[in-house]
Structure 1
């Protein structure tokens, strides 16, 4: 058994804006976000464009989700189909954060994503009342000022606030749910499949299932040493998270072991020519390397995947390769991706590409090879290019492939958040 008296007993709120993109678009059009049928798609002019967001009513009555395509939305006059307005979405997100500052100091607020935030209201009871009262006030204030619905989870730490949000608040009558350590065994332990729990992805779920672990309760009662042997530090985190224990500070990544840098994109059209596919892969490696350098990190494991077109009946592959020396150099990442592509790609039509780097170390821990005389120059060149792009814009320096018909970076540089502004 876990002695919970040794762990944080805070009051953390996790505020999630319900179907944020669709709700903001609905309010912008003068519609009720909870009752209207509305879909936000990447581009209304492309039938194969992905649904980025769907209103709750559209999900419920038509079964349209973010995995659907524009051509799959029924031809119904009641359904509104709109392009994303990323500038508007970001503006509303900033204004929501300003609203949170009415209830808590800036050090107690962590913006987790555009539509989700954590707020530590510990010690604010004398000002605003109980955590439940504060959550209700915030919910009413958001509805009154923005016309937007939200749900809120409350817990003694970030993890449990998030679990209360994901697993209960969205079905609660008032959209607010509070979890305490006493709730773990009867609320969290029965959860299955395991991927329903925040922090457990499909891949880890399959591995845990192969170990005979199918519920969170079984994970909590599994031998900790065996979990650590199988998953390393992640095994320790998985075990304690199954007991609701989380000692991370507000704003810190709850799953430290999952930190990586990556990029994935669904292409605007099918790519059949191998050289065109390689051109996009190079652009993506450039972006992944830039993100890694920005964090002053380098990584040893490169992950690469291709998703095939519906013409190929879907499918694809996702492979990884661990290299000898950590890197954040574009061409090092690209060359590894090309090796994986050569080993696994057989000429299929490609519609999506993903590249990521993990097994991270601090950049200053990199030991340059004596056999790579230009290693230091390549390392510094990346940082120099980053400085120019940060000062003059992401499109100020581009590789030649970005100016070809295959390139996507030039087009995407004119977008906000990957979509129309």
Structure 2
């Protein structure tokens, strides 16, 4: 149960903030947002507020913001179609009922001759007296069909009607908010826990290890290695790992006195690579200065961004294997393991995943945010957008490929963790 709660918290938070980025910038651009969804599949919970339906859906594998003009919900009124409608005080249609059998107070009926429900907003047809009449349609008119209500979207409130810049920032805002979320999480960790100093202070010496034989003790502060100053434990660790079987000289401060010790790292194999180890653990020390929390948030986010990009470069340049990828099952297992080490560690994991989601969504692959941004760049260079039919085909193929990859990765995760 704890693992499930941890997974829902972490994955739900990063998906929510990703979609929140799209949502906020869509609203600022004047785009009608029909639905803000966390998850895919059947709806578990839905709340309608204003023109937007906020939903939580069954499958916690992502989310979406459905924008007007970026979907297939346009209603077309064909000639000869009989509709019911109600009018406001300005004789504008405020509700248009496609079901002829439904009756509403003050409902009028019309046999459609012509209609324009995007730019000019009017309906023309024959009334009960067989007179040809025309009514304007209110910008917030509700269309009801088979029990489903949809607010019309005037063309100027659709995604495609907006400038290239507004469309681009609306799409880019999703990954951007993932990076912002990571920064905020690391800043919070910096305030609550303090900034890790990575001070090269020995917390434990493993019995019978090379360090124990060489005379290292707990609370020894490492000051140098092979004559070079050491400020952080990583500096020492890099030299030790790179010197299997080779004697190194380490300077320490013990009880206020300088000492010099010689040790030969033991050769061990880690991930099929031979590295050196001497058998010491460093102490976790933290700087409680709150002024350092904000730069720490940016530094940690940048560090994770660089590391993930490096991994992607390795994958693209020939190191791709399914084992290098994880789907929801793999993330669930990893989150379960991380949750055992406390809430702060779980937050750090959430920040790292948020950076990862932001980067992955920026890849120029169809059906991802990066794919759409690539099409916008094509539009900028060419001077006009790609044909909608071609764009639809590209997006469909890209989405299908992503689904196939997701199934393959998920199956691989299941085999790794459960068989």
Q: Structure 1 length normalisation: TM-score?
A: 0.21
Q: Which has the larger radius of gyration?
A: 2
